[in-house]
Amino acid sequence: MVDRSHKPSAISAKAAGPQPTVDVSDNGVTAKLPTGESVEVLLHGASVISWKSKGEVENLWLSESAVLDGSKPVRGGIPVVFPNFGPAPKDHATSKNPQHGFARNVRWEFLGKSTSEGEASKGSDDSVKLDFGLYSTALSDEARKAWPYDFGLVYSVTLSQEGLRTVLNVRNEGKEAFEFQVLLHTYLRVKDISKTTINGLASATYSDKVLSLPTATQSTPTLSINGEVDRVYKSLAQDTTSVLEGGKPRFDVVRDNLVDTVVWNPWIEKAKGMGDFSPKDGYKNMLCVEVGAVDGWQKLDGGEGWEGGQVIRSLL
């Protein structure tokens, strides 16, 4: 046998580094990265109820009285709003649906997980994606009668060191076209709402539910919260909305194929009136920045699909 002078060396298998862990229970799914980040998703509503950054820092606000047994929507975290936002219009096909639709109040199916590889030198995975599905065939007869369309939803929750990505894919599985709205109702946890501001809304048009204004314009570059706020910002030019605490960046919320953003804080009186909102002064530690498509309707013909979502980055 002739010994080749430039014979390639044998490829040695690199030992796998630490991998994400995924625990599945009857109620939900929890994933954790080797670097400490974690996410927890209930099967009820596919609601994300916890997202922790490295160092066990909780980024989402969850009411202490949130109902997690599937009997009602979750107060806090990231509920999924579909196929209508708010009370459905009386003259629309969604008119018989409950407020904010049915997706947040039915049980979803866990479809599985997938991971992405990190840097080759680390030999470990740096993100994990959890997929959840909801199909028209899984709805109750009552819900099917209220909204009799054939659809399929796949909701993907991806945890990485950089942040949390949540994406909803909607598909019309039937022949008849339907219209829908979608919103990711994110409750961000903040230290002090009086010192929290929002950037990225300057010059945007919005409707103000508190003041009953159908149309107004954001006149300042920064929005401060000093009372009840419930605004729908429409067709935002910037993809990113930033939340600051004491003038320092806390969160970036980046929209993907979603042009609207709802900003909500119930403040004192409305918080007192919600039975599942606690502590009653919890409004001081939460701010909803909710990305969606809620100004008008998205339409899907038979066989068509649509996808939209967000990436939230914790900037601590």
pTM above 0.75? yes
Give yes or no for a contact between 184 and 256, defined as CB atoms under 8 angstroms apart: no
Residue 2 lies in a domain: no
Give yes or no for a contact between 262 and 314, defined as CB atoms under 8 angstroms apart: no
- Res 9: pLDDT: 47
Question: Using alpha carbons only, how large is the chain's radius of gyration in Å?
Answer: 22
In the predicted model, residues of the chain with pLDDT beneath 70 are 1-16, 117-125
Q: Which residues of 26-40 are buried (b: 16+ CB within 10 A; e: fewer)?
A: eebbbbbbbeebbbb
104 belongs to an annotated ligand binding site = yes
238 belongs to an annotated ligand binding site = no
Residue 1 lies in a domain: no
How many domains, in total, are found in the chain?
1
- Res 73: pLDDT: 96
- Res 12: pLDDT: 42
Q: What is the CATH number of the domain that holds 163?
A: 2.70.98.10
**Which residues are catalytic, by number?**
185, 290
Q: Provide the token pair at 103.
A: 């997706």
Q: Which domain holds residue 204?
A: 21-314
Give the Cα separation of 147 and 174 in Å (integer).
13
- The phi and psi torsions of 271 (rounded to 5 degrees) equal -60, -40
- Res 3: pLDDT: 53
Residue 14 lies in a domain: no
- Res 124: pLDDT: 53
Residue 118 lies in a domain: yes
Give yes or no for a contact between 38 and 50, defined as CB atoms under 8 angstroms apart: yes
99 belongs to an annotated ligand binding site = yes
Residue 131 lies in a domain: yes
- Res 204: pLDDT: 97
- Res 17: pLDDT: 78
Burial class (CB in 10 A: 0-12, 13-18, 19+), 127: buried
Residue 15 lies in a domain: no
Residue 11 lies in a domain: no
Residue 156 lies in a domain: yes
